């Protein structure tokens, strides 16, 4: 587990020192995640570990949150315009690459008529980042609605991880980084497991 400690320490050290390369890498990790290329637990660990080490009110937390926020907006906006401008051609290509997307897209589209901002937010918090952006573009929703949905979901999800990190630091200030990563993996596994069971039960 020492390699996890080393990697996290190096990453956080680079970010805390304002290293531009580290910021750019984090930006594109977030953007790629938004468009459907996952980097499991990296973003969650960075958010949690930053607030765990520096506290919720710090320049480092503000910088990381800003980079993550901009990466989310860039990735979501890219998908939105790729869907809205070329139309069905991009959606068809996306469906061939990710076969589950068309069915999820139909589900999200039915919920985007009224209260679009909340529908986008809920879809994103449910893990449908790519689908929410594609559906927004396919339906021709105004771009600002997607932007606000991304803002709201980012504040809720990323803010929760930052608050959790700073809160745990108060009671357990000397945890090694590898235990933090394992804890995040277990926490997310439980959250998504409960979400899956609730959705499955609701469909029945």
| pTM to 2 decimal places | 0.75
> DSSP state, 114?
S
Q: What is the pLDDT of residues 72-130, one digit of tens each?
A: 999 999 999 988 876 666 666 666 766 666 666 666 666 665 578 888 898 898 888 88
In the chain, beta strands by DSSP E: none
pLDDT beyond 80 at 24: yes
CA distance 153 to 16: 25
Expressed in angstroms, the distance from the first to the final Cα of the chain is 42
In eight-state DSSP terms, residue 172 is -
The Cα 69–Cα 65 span in angstroms is 6
| pLDDT, tens digit, 9 for 90 and up, residues 172-194 | 777 776 676 677 777 777 776 77
Between CA 120 and CA 111 the distance in angstroms is 9
Domain ranges of the chain: 2-203
pLDDT tier at 37 (50, 70, 90 boundaries)? Answer: confident
């Amino acid at each position: 587990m020492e390699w996890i400690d080393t990697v996290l320490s190096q990453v956080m050290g680079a970010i805390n020192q304002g290293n531009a390369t580290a910021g750019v890498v984090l930006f594109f990790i977030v953007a790629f995640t938004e468009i459907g290329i996952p980097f499991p637990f990296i973003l969650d660990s960075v958010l949690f570990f930053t607030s765990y080490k520096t506290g919720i009110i710090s320049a480092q937390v503000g910088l990381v949150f800003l980079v993550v926020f901009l990466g989310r907006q860039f990735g979501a906006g890219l998908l939105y315009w790729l869907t809205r401008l070329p139309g069905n051609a991009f959606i068809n290509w996306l469906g061939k690459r990710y076969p589950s997307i068309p069915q999820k897209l139909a589900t999200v589209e039915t919920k985007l008529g009224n209260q679009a901002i909340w529908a986008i937010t809920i879809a994103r918090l449910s893990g449908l980042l790519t689908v929410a952006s594609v559906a927004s573009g396919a339906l021709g929703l105004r771009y600002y609605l997607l932007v606000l949905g991304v803002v709201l979901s980012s504040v809720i999800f990323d803010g929760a991880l930052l608050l959790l990190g700073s809160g745990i630091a108060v009671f357990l200030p000397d945890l090694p980084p590898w235990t933090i990563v394992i804890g995040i993996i277990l926490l997310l596994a439980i959250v998504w497991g409960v979400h899956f069971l609730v959705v499955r039960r609701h469909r029945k």
